[in-house]
Structure 1
Amino acid sequence: MAVRWVKREDIDKVKWNSCVHYAYNGNIFGYVWYLDFIGKSWTALIEDDYQAVMPLIYRPGLHKMEIYQPSFIRELGIFSYAPLNSHRVKYFFDAMPEEYRLINMRVSEECKPAEIHGFKVSEKTNHVLSLLQSYENLADRYSPVFRNALDKSIANGFRSAESITPEEYAAFYEKNGQGNKRQREKDKHALLRIIYNALHRGWGFLSGIADEKGELLAADFYITSHSRMMSLAPVISKNGEASGAAAMQFDFLLRTNAGKPLLFDFNEDQSFINPTHVHAMPYPFYDIKKDVRIVGIW
Structure 2
Amino acid sequence: MELRFVPQEEIDRQLYDSCVHFATNGSIYGYHWFLNATAKDWDVLVEGDEWVSVMPLPRSKNWWGRQRLEQPGLIPELAVYSVRPLSPTRIQAFWDAIPAEFRGGELTVEPASVPAAPGRFKVHRAAGEALFLDQPYETLVAGFGPDYFNRLQLAEAAGLRPASSFKPERLADLWLETQGRSATNEWQYHAMQRIMYQVLHRSWGGTQAVQDATGELLAMVFIAYSHGRIFPLFRVESVQGRSVGAMTYLWDQLLRTHAGKNLKIKREDLW
**1:139 equivalenced with 2:141 (yes/no):** yes
Moved more, 5-14 or 109-118: 109-118
> Structure 2: which amino acid aligns with 1:99?
E
Q: Give how far 1:48 is off.
A: 1.6
Q: Which amino acid aligns with 1:95?
A: A
Partner of 1:296: none
Do 2:78 and 2:110's aligned partners in 1 also have CA atoms closer than 8 Å?
yes
How do 1:46-85 and structure 2 match up within 5 A?
46-49=46-49, 50-59=51-60, 63=65, 65-85=67-87
Q: Look up the equivalent residue of 1:252 and give its one-letter code.
A: Q
Q: Cα 1:163–1:247, aligned 2, differ >3 Å: closer, same or farther?
A: same
The one-letter code of the counterpart of 1:256 is: T
Q: Which residue of 2 aligns with 1:248?
A: 249
Determine the structure 2 residue equivalent to 1:37. Answer: 37
The structure 1 segments of at least 4 consecutive aligned residues displaced by more than 6 Å after TM superposition are none
SS at match of 2:44: strand
RMSD across aligned positions (CA): 2.0
8 Å CA contact retained: 1:41, 1:60: no
- Do structure 1's residue 102 and structure 2's residue 139 form an aligned pair? no
Output the CA distance in 1 between the equivalents of 2:124 and 2:30: 22
For the Cα contact (< 8 Å) 1:231–1:265, is it kept in 2? Answer: no
Q: Tell me whether 5-14 or 110-119 shows the greater mean CA deviation.
A: 110-119
How far apart, in 1, do the equivalents of 2:137 and 2:116 lie?
42
Question: Does the 8 Å CA contact 1:173/1:184 hold for their aligned counterparts?
Answer: no
CA distance, structure 2, for counterparts of residue 45 and residue 190 of structure 1: 25
Higher relative contact order (CA 8 A, sep 6+): 1
| Length, aligned pairs only | 269
Normalising by structure 1, what TM-score?
Answer: 0.84
Equivalence map 1:232-271=2 (5 Å): 232-265=233-266, 271=269
CA shift digits 1:167-202 (9 cap, x unpaired):
11110111124x863322211111111111111111
- 1:197-276 to structure 2, matched below 5 A, reads 197-265=198-266, 271=269, 273-274=270-271
- Specify the alignment match of 2:4 in structure 1: 4
- How far residue 242 of structure 1 moved from its aligned partner, in angstroms, is 2.0
Give the unaligned 5+ runs of structure 2: none
What is the match of residue 171 of structure 2?
A: 169
Could you tell me the TM-score, scaled by structure 2's length? 0.92
- Structure 1 unpaired stretches of 5+: 275-298
